[in-house]
Amino acid sequence: MTFAANTATPPAILLVDDDPDARMILRDAAAEAVPGATIWEVGSGEEAMDFLYARGRHSRAPRPSLITLDIEMPGEGGQTTLAKIRRDGRFADIPVVVLTSRADDVQKRLAAVNGANSFALKPATPAELGAAIRQITEYWTQLHQRPACEDTDGPTTASA
């Protein structure tokens, strides 16, 4: 089993969705796609921030390798949560995949502006949702490799 970019450490995946049934499907599919991963679930944007900052009942929360984030949640919605995550540089390298049942171009653009790495529609059936999250978690935890950033005196260009 290989995990993301040069590490054998099993990933920690944070699922943020207010629907417990959706979280169950997401959790089971992510666990199947990435055996050995630690799957964490929270039901709100506020709780996601508590998890990231290791506050309250999440005081021992690990740093996630991937966050899936529902947009439409009561209280602090997914867009607000996404913007907060991206405002804190400590979380800049954590992929955030927005999952929503709303195929709205405004929401897609807003997610892009707020820093989402990907935007995916929740499929209509539980089986399709499970298949989608398996593909998403496999890509972001096993296939995707983020280029290493090095401090340089300025931008570099590739020579032809």
Q: Answer whether residue 124 is part of any domain.
A: yes
Q: What is the pLDDT of residues 19-35, one digit of tens each?
A: 999 999 989 988 888 88
Q: Answer whether residue 7 is part of any domain.
A: no
Q: Answer whether residue 2 is part of any domain.
A: no
Q: Enumerate residue ranges in the chain where pLDDT < 50.
A: 1-6, 149-160
Q: Is the pTM of this model over 0.85?
A: no
Q: Answer whether residue 147 is part of any domain.
A: no
User: In which domain, by residue range, is 76 found?
Assistant: 12-142
Find where tokens 């998890």 sit. Answer: 51
Task: Return the CATH number at 101.
Answer: 3.40.50.2300
Structural domain total, the chain: 1
